Amino acid sequence: MTQLCYETVNYAPFVWDGDPDLLGQIAGASEAGFPLIGIDLASITRFVDEGERLETLAEALRAVDMRCFEVQALVVTDDEGATLEQAEQLARIASTLSVPYVQAGVSTPLGPPVAANLKRAADVIRAAGATIALEFLPFTPLRDIAGTRELIRQAETPDAQVMIDTWHFFYGPDDWSDLEALPLEEIAYVQFNDHPGRVSDDWMHETTQRRVLPGEGEFDLPRFCSVMRAKGYQAPVSVEIISEALRALPPAEFARRVYAATAPFWDEG
């Protein structure tokens, strides 16, 4: 069965005012059966600002035999100083937690400065033993698979790979042929989720407050899984459910429901 990765971002400070409770989420995800976890930068920053240590997270993961698979997210812009400052922060986290992937995205118009800063950031991340997983989002300048591949080429960072979030694929400009044409070796991993259908043009609200469990929305997730299996995809699947409704649950119950809903899609993988 494909390894599933739990995501902490549903309780991150930038989507609600409550406690991220990283230690509670680690315990709950482990109890639910997740062998991997992805931790968001905002929650780690809150954790450290409250006097905790990164090493405490590493110890908590070892205690339940879990591995941190990714940390998110590096925001690449045309501002070299800001991009590198965040890259160095994420590199320290990646090194301490032995993280293989740092998720990244782009928030300013594409061009030579962004490509150059992605290259510089990738060098910093690589020195920490991690790799850039570059995500496209339909409401940002980096909005599709082709653009993501081209930016990686322009940045001369061949070890960087494309990260595919089902939310952004289904609501973006790509179609099935674009997904089918993406070479397996260029894929970092998948982020998996569903959505009941957009009710507004507020992209951020839709993607950070209204996602639903796999199988409870309108995405053709069986076909998505079939396309990925046809490629020979066997990497972990990171389950990124960001939902105001599900956030009301205790982390352990949230993790249990996420695992139970996702596992059937990938148990043949």
Determine whether 189 is exposed, middle or buried from the number of CB atoms within 10 Å of its CB (0-12, 13-18, 19+).
buried
Determine whether 126 is exposed, middle or buried from the number of CB atoms within 10 Å of its CB (0-12, 13-18, 19+).
middle
SS3 state of residue 6: strand
Domains, the chain, ranges and CATH?
Answer: 4-266 (3.20.20.150)
Is residue 40 within 8 Å of residue 9, measured between CB atoms? yes
Alpha-carbon distances, residue 199 vs 45, 126, 205, 217 (angstroms): 32, 40, 10, 13
DSSP 163-219: EEEHHHHHTSS--HHHHHHS-GGGEEEEEE-B-S---SS-HHHHHHHB-B-TTSSSS
**Predicted local confidence at residue 268, as pLDDT:** 67
d(CA 90, CA 40): 10
pLDDT in tens, the chain (269 residues): 799 999 999 999 999 999 999 999 999 999 999 999 999 999 999 999 999 999 999 999 999 999 999 999 999 999 999 999 999 999 999 999 999 999 999 999 999 999 999 999 999 999 999 999 999 999 999 999 999 999 999 999 999 999 999 999 999 999 999 999 999 999 999 999 999 999 999 999 999 999 999 999 999 999 999 999 999 999 999 999 999 999 999 999 999 999 999 999 999 64
Phi, psi of 241 (to 5 degrees): -100, 120
Place of tokens 């989420």: 25
**Predicted local confidence at residue 1, as pLDDT:** 75
The 10 Å Cβ neighbour count of residue 176 is 12
- β-pair type (67-76, 36-40): parallel
**Predicted local confidence at residue 263, as pLDDT:** 98
Alpha-carbon distances, residue 153 vs 116, 124, 222 (angstroms): 11, 18, 31
d(CA 174, CA 103): 20
- 7, containing H or E segment: strand 4-7
